Amino acid sequence: MALDPKTIETAGDELFEAWGANATLAPLRDRYDGIDIVDAYRIQERFIARRLEQGARIVGKKIGVTSKAVQEMIGVFEPDFGQLTADMQFEDGSTLDLDQLIQPKAEAEIAFVLKEDLNGPGITPVDVLRATDHVRACFEIVDSRIDDWDIRIQDTVADNASCGVYVLGEDRIDPRDVDLTLAGLLVEKNGEPCATGVGAAVQGSPVNAVVWLANTLGKLGMPFKAGEVILSGSLAPLIPVADGDELVAHIGGIGSCTARFAKLGGAQAGAASTKESANA
């Protein structure tokens, strides 16, 4: 039985408050009897609505849990999606403040930046390539508001697909100039290799992941818009990060992306309205 609107609102508000306070909650599946994936997306919608009220601006979407390696790590076995807001985006080489995150892990992936709208359902891989202005190497730093990453699909969906922040590489490549299926990944952590992967790890191709999301959102009346950033999913297992770490992702034919991590004091932490002030 679906959760009632008041319960949906309460759960979404809990996640919003946890996000603002850099805190975690007990898994939703243990506290809301009968919660299903439809309920979880309704909770996500409430969570994001609270952020929009505080000045957040949606700039794209993320696809999560697309590779077998990530599915096995976190025990979630179907893709999901979340919303990207302007304050989540950082440029290549940025130092990310660990005091603004809770329990971050890094994913190396391919970001698609659109030049045309995509209105599903009925979107094909050719449509995605035609609508994409360029692809870039990317790190998504996933971050869970659920205690100890103890998640199942309902928990991560409600928690905006465990979105944290993301870093975009500088190189901008026409996706028709590279075989995204065969694009090889090497991630270095503090100068040492720590992960490898390939485009085919993401639903056979990152393009397929974008097709899935375009069609899934199309059925919900949520088209992709020109200019949006679409994060297509991790090519390798999640990478824990700590103070002083530097990650560099090299993706064949696409380029590189660097992210650094440090405890900078969390000057914006603790109040959701302050945390969103960067959106202006």
Dihedral class, residue 244 (left if φ above 0, else alpha if ψ from -120 to 50, else beta): left
Quote the domain boundaries for residue 109.
58-266
36-60 pLDDT, tens digit each? 988 999 999 999 999 999 999 999 9
Average pLDDT score over the chain: 91
Instruction: Write out pLDDT tens, residues 150-207.
Output: 999 899 999 999 999 999 999 999 999 999 999 999 999 999 999 999 999 888 899 9
Q: What is the CATH number of the domain that holds 80?
A: 3.90.850.10
Identify whether 163 is part of a domain: yes
Could you give the CA distance from residue 137 to residue 131 in angstroms, rounded to a whole number? 18
> DSSP state, 118?
B
- Across residues 65-88, what is the average pLDDT? 75
pLDDT in tens, 128-158: 999 999 999 999 999 999 999 999 989 999 9
Q: Count of domains in the chain?
A: 1
Task: Give the pLDDT score at 203.
Answer: 83
Say if 5 falls within a structural domain. no
Quote the pLDDT of residue 75. 64
Residue 124 has pLDDT above 70, yes or no: yes
The closest alpha carbon to 188, from 118, 274, 251, belongs to: 251
Q: How far apart are CA 276 and CA 52, in angstroms?
A: 9
Percent of the chain at pLDDT exceeding 90 = 81
11 in a structural domain: no
